[in-house]
Amino acid sequence: MAVPDLPIQPRTFNQFASDNYAGVCPEAWQAMEEANHGFVSSYGDDLWTERACESIRQLFETDCQVFFVFNGTAANSLALAALCRSYHSVICHDLAHVETDECGAPEFFSNGTKILHIQGQEGKLDLSEVERAITRRSDIHYPRPRVLSLTQATEVGTVYTPDEIRTASELASRYGLKVQVDGARFANAVVSLDLSPADITWRAGVDVLCLGGAKNGMAVGEAVVFFDRELASEFEYRCKQAGQLASKMRFISAPWIGMLKGGAWLKNARHANDCAALLERELAEIIGVRIMYPRQANSVFVEMPEVSVNRLRAAGWHFYSFIGSGGARFMCSWQTTREDVFQLAEAVRTACGGDRN
Ligand SMILES: *Cc1c(COP(=O)(O)O)cnc(C)c1O
């Protein structure tokens, strides 16, 4: 039976659902194209991968150990598994991707390490809650806390300041915990804080960073960056066993060179953050809309009447609904345009019935 030759997607697809709805940015695409010549050794034993690791070392101004995997779930899960034994636990926020969106992969890859999730305002860990989770018990019946996991930028689009990270790391190290950062949107945090990547990672006490590529504009792939090289011991075996060792590794690694050398990594994040800032300004004017969190990265979370949310969906807009009824998440990417932002704002205005005076 012939497959009908219809367009896969309508030409206008009105969405602020996620930054992974966007395509591949030109810089990443071109790097894949450049890597697509002749024969190259497989499984990461190639010059593209060597140079990509070197680019990441330069970015972080330190001799870190770098691995490339297919996605963020694998990056987080394997990094956490490398830091833990099966009877350990990982402390993270209630809303953390590792807790809510990885289908138990961290527990699976670590053979049973337990995730302990705690609360905190604006998507950030409340450190007194962290300390309580660490010190609550010390007997052998409680899974021993071993890692503190932070998300930067957070799941609700806020960012941790270097002081907050340092304070969290100091608390962790006081009790012998390592610090892992889920950086699916790390570039957005770097732009937001206007600081060097080193200042908000190893200089602030972070041991391992899962550095996002896909949401920033790459086709596929995230980097696992170990600032403490000893923690990376035998990590390559975990990647292979988990089915995360790409045989044509150069197509995951080469885009990192393309993204970092001309600054596309930051340019993309800055663009996405700027679009979200513009959207926030527009939405704040609309009656019935409440901005839920400080907008510090590339997303805007709003509360609006359920009827308005339904109208917006009926008008063809795609977005995720978040905490509670009526909450909506609008996520911007490197590909979002100012025109898209104005169109969404206009649609929200119509769905809500007007501006504030
Ligand atoms: C998207 C995302 C990830 C990675 O998810 P994958 O779909 O597995 O690539 C990790 N952490 C956060 C906070 C994310 O938003």
> What is the DSSP track for 291-339?
E-S---SSEEEEE--HHHHHHHHHTT-B-EE-SSTTEEEEE--TT--HH
Residue type present at position 241: Q
Structural tokens at position 134: 């660490």
Protein residue whose Cα sits closest to atom 6 of ligand 1: 72
Protein residue whose Cα sits closest to atom 5 of ligand 1: 72
Tokens 């330069």 belong to which residue?
58
- 184 C-alpha to center of ligand 1: Å? 6
Contact 171, 199 (CB under 8 A): no
Task: With both helix axes pointing from N to C terminus, report the angle between 250-261 and 47-60 in degrees, rounded to the nearest 10.
Answer: 40
Q: What is the pLDDT of residue 354?
A: 67
Mutational test site, ligand 1, from 19, 73, 186, 210, max ligand atoms within 8 Å of CB? 73
Q: What is the pLDDT of residue 5?
A: 77
For residue 108, give every residue at least 6 positions away whose Cβ sits within 8 Å of its Cβ, in sequence order, or none: 77
Euclidean distance between CA atoms 114 and 108, whole angstroms: 10
- 213 C-alpha to center of ligand 1: Å? 10
Q: What is the pLDDT of residue 304?
A: 93
- 23 C-alpha to center of ligand 1: Å? 16
Q: Which CATH class is domain 26-261?
A: alpha beta
Mutational test site, ligand 1, from 20, 68, 97, 299, max ligand atoms within 8 Å of CB? 97
- 323 C-alpha to center of ligand 1: Å? 18
Task: Say what the pTM is.
Answer: 0.96
Euclidean distance between CA atoms 110 and 83, whole angstroms: 9
Length of the chain as a residue count: 357
- 185 C-alpha to center of ligand 1: Å? 8
For residue 180, give every residue at least 6 positions away whose Cβ sits within 8 Å of its Cβ, in sequence order, or none: 76, 79, 80, 83, 90, 147, 148, 149, 150, 206, 207, 208, 209, 210
Tokens 């490197």 belong to which residue?
334
Q: What is the pLDDT of residue 3?
A: 75
List where CATH 3.90.1150.10 sits in the chain: 264-351
Q: What is the pLDDT of residue 231?
A: 98
Protein residue whose Cα sits closest to atom 14 of ligand 1: 184
Residue type present at position 244: Q
In a 3-state reduction of DSSP, which class is residue 178?
A: strand
Q: Which CATH class is domain 264-351?
A: alpha beta
Task: With both helix axes pointing from N to C terminus, report the angle between 264-284 and 186-193 in degrees, rounded to the nearest 10.
Answer: 70
Structural tokens at position 97: 């991707």
Euclidean distance between CA atoms 168 and 171, whole angstroms: 5
Protein residue whose Cα sits closest to atom 1 of ligand 1: 184
- 222 C-alpha to center of ligand 1: Å? 10
Strand order in the sheet with 290-291: 290-291, 299-303, 327-331, 320-321
- 176 C-alpha to center of ligand 1: Å? 27
- 80 C-alpha to center of ligand 1: Å? 14
Counting from 1 in the atom list of ligand 1, the atom nearest the Cα of 74 is 8
Residues in the chain predicted with pLDDT less than 70, given as ranges, are 1, 9-11, 323-326, 354-357
Mutational test site, ligand 1, from 159, 182, 209, 322, max ligand atoms within 8 Å of CB? 182
Counting from 1 in the atom list of ligand 1, the atom nearest the Cα of 214 is 9
Which long-range contacts (C-beta less than 8 Å, at least 24 apart) are formed by 322-328?
322/156, 322/292, 323/95, 323/292, 327/292, 327/301, 327/302, 327/303, 328/301, 328/302, 328/303, 328/304
Look at residues 7, 16, 5, 105 and name the one whose alpha carbon lies nearest to residue 342.
Answer: 16
Phi, psi of 246 (to 5 degrees): -70, 130
List where CATH 3.40.640.10 sits in the chain: 26-261
Whole-number Cα distances in Å, 122 to 75, 81, 96, 155, 186: 24, 27, 12, 9, 17
How many separate helices (H) and strands (E) can be counted in the chain?
A: 13, 11
Burial (CB < 10 A; 0-12, 13-18, 19+), residue 127, is middle
Counting from 1 in the atom list of ligand 1, the atom nearest the Cα of 182 is 11
Euclidean distance between CA atoms 100 and 94, whole angstroms: 8
Q: What is the pLDDT of residue 356?
A: 59
Contact 75, 222 (CB under 8 A): yes
Residues with CB under 6 A from ligand 1: 71-73, 97, 151, 155, 182, 184, 214-215
- 254 C-alpha to center of ligand 1: Å? 21
Tell me the sheet residues that pair with 14.
none
- 214 C-alpha to center of ligand 1: Å? 9
Protein residue whose Cα sits closest to atom 3 of ligand 1: 72
